């Protein structure tokens, strides 16, 4: 019996052949073998025990807004797990600046709400179109700040373990540049941030400036933000620009004219073109500058990925 049938037999409400690529900000790529939306912590624990009861290992992918992943045109041969917004997109702010937010809450929404409440430290998050969970896993950041600086603890359920919620302090998460120790079977369910008292008007102005800066410097359309990590003391965008690759096209994918570290996909385009363009850019930067760029975007379902290419 396939794992899909086994999980269904154990009461897991799956969608087979679920849309995946179209749910990412690249809006290219194939479907998932199956997907499940988990409504609350109890369902998460039940999913974990169903997964434990079946013999086969099931490849797992937790998806937030899909703003940092590229899904192959062949799709993902595993189970996609998402968190329902009803129970996982709430937030509460305590008197002492401790803000607890559900992992499915959009980071820009949280950034605006806490700033409007006079809490400082997360205004930069207004420009990052992901969820709280995705931001913790990626240690997302920008404008000189990152999640790790304000994260007090993350509440994580391991689907390969018991599925119970474990509070993990920021220091236990090995947060680094766009990385954390959170593994593929682990689901960030909520996170607690320590924010400082700030001036509402100043924070409002900062939000406005960040939004304006993003509009001016970053393209809209189908992309997943910065494709490559910045190498030590260098900016990937500058290297790509200096290599004359702005506007360079590969089939339905193009290096953005506005920001050289963004790759745009055409409407109806192919993930394989985006992937091939990433490899072309890496090869050119290696040849010209001797710098091996590492991906910031996570590749899903690409069989030919070598570890050096994965962030």
Ligand X SMILES: Cc1cc2nc3c(=O)[nH]c(=O)nc-3n(C[C@H](O)[C@H](O)[C@H](O)COP(=O)(O)OP(=O)(O)OC[C@H]3O[C@@H](n4cnc5c(N)ncnc54)[C@H](O)[C@@H]3O)c2cc1C
Q: Please pick, from the candidates 141, 148, 163, 301, the single residue that binds ligand X as defined by CB under 6 A.
A: 141
Asked if 67 interacts with ligand X (CB under 6 A), we say yes
175: which residues sit within 8 A by CB, 6+ positions away? 139, 146, 147, 148, 151, 181
Give ∠ CA 164-170-171 in degrees, rounded to 5. Answer: 115
Contact flag: residue 163 with ligand X (CB under 6 A): no
Binding part of the chain for ligand X, among 8-16, 57-65, 113-121, 238-246 by CB under 6 A, reads 57-65
Q: Which of 112, 178, 270, 282 is the catalytic position? A: 178
Query: Are residues 256 and 263 in contact, defined by beta-carbon separation less than 8 angstroms?
Result: yes
| Residue 145 within binding range of ligand X, rule CB under 6 A | no
| Cβ distance to ligand X smaller for residue 106 or 239 | 106
Q: Is 223 in the site for ligand X (CB under 6 A)?
A: yes
State which residue, 182 or 260, has the beta carbon closest to ligand X: 182
**Binding to ligand X by residue 69, rule CB under 6 A?**
yes
Q: Give the per-residue contact string, 251-290, with ligand X (x = CB under 6 A; - = no).
A: ----------------------------------------
Calpha distance 305→311 (Å, rounded): 11
First to last CA, the chain: 35
Query: Which residues fall within 8 angstroms of residue 255, CB to CB, at 6 or more apart?
Result: 240, 245, 246, 247, 248, 249, 262, 263, 264, 277, 281
Q: 107-116 vs 200-217: helix axis angle to the nearest 10?
A: 150
Whether 216 is a known active-site residue: answer no
How many Å apart are CA 309 and CA 245, to the nearest integer? 19
Residue 29 binds ligand X (CB under 6 A)? no
What is the closest distance, in whole angstroms, from the C-beta atom of residue 119 to ligand X in the complex? 20
Residue matched to tokens 């120790």: 181
**Chain residues in the site for ligand X (CB under 6 A):** 25, 61-69, 83, 103, 127-131, 133-135, 137-138, 140-142, 178, 182, 186-188, 218, 223-225, 298
Give catalytic residues, as residue numbers: 178, 226, 296
């Amino acid at each position: 019996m396939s794992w899909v049938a086994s999980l269904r037999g154990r009461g897991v409400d799956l969608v087979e052949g679920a849309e995946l690529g179209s749910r990412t900000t690249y809006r290219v790529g194939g479907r998932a073998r199956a997907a499940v939306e988990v409504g609350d912590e109890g369902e998460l624990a039940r999913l974990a025990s169903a997964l434990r009861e079946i013999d086969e290992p099931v490849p797992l992918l937790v998806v937030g807004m899909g703003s940092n992943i590229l899904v192959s045109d062949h799709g993902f041969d595993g189970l996609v797990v998402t968190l329902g917004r009803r129970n996982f997109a709430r937030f509460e702010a305590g008197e002492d600046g401790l803000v607890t937010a559900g992992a499915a809450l959009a980071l820009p929404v949280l950034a605006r709400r806490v700033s409007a409440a006079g809490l400082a430290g997360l205004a930069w998050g207004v420009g990052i179109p992901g969820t709280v969970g995705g931001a913790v896993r990626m240690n997302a950041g920008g404008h000189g700040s990152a999640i790790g600086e304000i994260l007090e603890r993350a509440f994580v359920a391991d689907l390969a373990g018991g599925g119970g919620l474990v509070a993990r302090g920021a220091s236990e998460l090995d947060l680094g540049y766009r990385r954390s120790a959170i593994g593929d079977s682990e689901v960030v369910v909520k996170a607690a941030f320590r924010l400082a008292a700030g001036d509402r008007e100043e924070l409002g102005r900062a939000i406005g400036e960040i939004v304006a800066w993003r509009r001016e410097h970053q393209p809209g359309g189908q992309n997943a933000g910065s494709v490559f990590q910045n190498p030590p003391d260098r900016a990937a965008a500058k290297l790509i620009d200096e290599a004359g690759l702005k506007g360079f096209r590969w089939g339905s994918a193009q290096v953005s004219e506005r920001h050289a570290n963004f790759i745009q996909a055409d409407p109806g385009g192919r993930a394989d073109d985006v992937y091939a363009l990433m490899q072309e850019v890496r090869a050119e930067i290696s040849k010209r500058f001797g710098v091996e760029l590492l991906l910031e975007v996570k590749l899903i379902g690409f069989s030919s990925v070598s570890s050096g290419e994965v962030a």
